[in-house]
Structure 1
């Protein structure tokens, strides 16, 4: 069996930061691409992390404010909650309640199907006395804030990353055009003998 050298023998050792080193074969576009890659990665990582953290904290603050401001209120059904043919366990029904200031309010709330008029149910209201959903727990808020933070961070990081890829692709096309131009000039001289 014949021994075949590995491809790394032909490629040579990997040289780190070669685009910044002095080298007669280094083109201006190589150095420009190196700076673009460095800038894109810095902006991608820093922008993604900072935007993700900011979004996470913003969502956590908003949900904490909801937990602090929204209050449960006892409301009474203003009509019967009919049993549905579809077998749904909860249906929308008109309810009435009295706000903390003594004013009367009415709205729609989901209650158990088959409930009778006058049945007491718990609804949640905001500062103005308007119906809201039940606020999320602290652990649910942390999960929701983390998910929003990750999504925002990835979205923000994608912008400079994609922009950098587009710029690098244009540089690569420009380099290939320069190679084609050089081959057109020197290709015909390739087979000539000198001397």
Structure 2
């Protein structure tokens, strides 16, 4: 009696690709559907990440440089001025004579080193009220002058400039990446259309 024929076995599903990233990259490149544009997509992603990282580092260094320059200017200015404690005689008003347009100024009075009382209009800190005692900077002639920026103000200015520069640089990097990706996609689409025009007659029988 003949033994029954063995039941045909189904082909097993291919297992996961073995090897490291280099082996997988070689396997992808050996795929007939792999195109040069596919490799450039990965490179563009890497360039995008590197561009954003470079923008962040560059803007941070720029902000630190701006802070150091601001502190150097403040120290140089401070060497030519001296502070005195003055009493605010009136309500502060905005003026364009300060470090920036709109700095508050107010009439103040102080006692000089000679014991004499002096009065003048000087730049005062924000939120100053009448009757408050504030620090006023005087020049060599004893006249009120715009004082040097504080470390906090220098840091705030540097951070603001650095963030603005970062937003601008990051936007430029993202836009360039989007343009390059769009050109790459169009190139890939033209390649697929060209291959389809060559393959379609073989599949459909149309010419």
Bucket of the pairwise TM-score, normalised by the shorter protein = 0.5 to 0.7
- C-alpha deviation, 1:172, in angstroms: 0.6
Q: How does 1:1-195 map to 2 (within 5 A)?
A: 16=21, 18=25, 22-23=29-30, 24-63=32-71, 65-66=73-74, 69-70=77-78, 71-74=82-85, 81=90, 92-94=105-107, 107-110=121-124, 112-113=129-130, 115=131, 122-124=135-137, 131-132=145-146, 135-137=149-151, 141-142=154-155, 145-146=158-159, 148-192=161-205
Cα 1:134–1:181 change in 2 (3 A) is: same
**TM-score scaled by length of structure 2:** 0.52
Unaligned 5+ runs, structure 1: 1-8, 85-90
- C-alpha deviation, 1:177, in angstroms: 3.0
Does the CA contact (< 8 Å) of 1:52 and 1:152 recur in 2? no
- C-alpha deviation, 1:95, in angstroms: 5.0
Larger Rg: 2
**TM-score scaled by length of structure 1:** 0.54
Q: Deviations over 1:116-148 (max 9, x none)?
A: xxx97532357997632563245x655654454
Cα 1:112–1:146 change in 2 (3 A) is: closer
Cα 1:46–1:32 change in 2 (3 A) is: same
Q: Name which structure has the greater RCO, CA cutoff 8 Å, separation 6+.
A: 1
CA–CA separation in structure 2 for the residues paired with 1:93 and 1:38: 56
Unaligned 5+ runs, structure 2: 1-12, 94-103
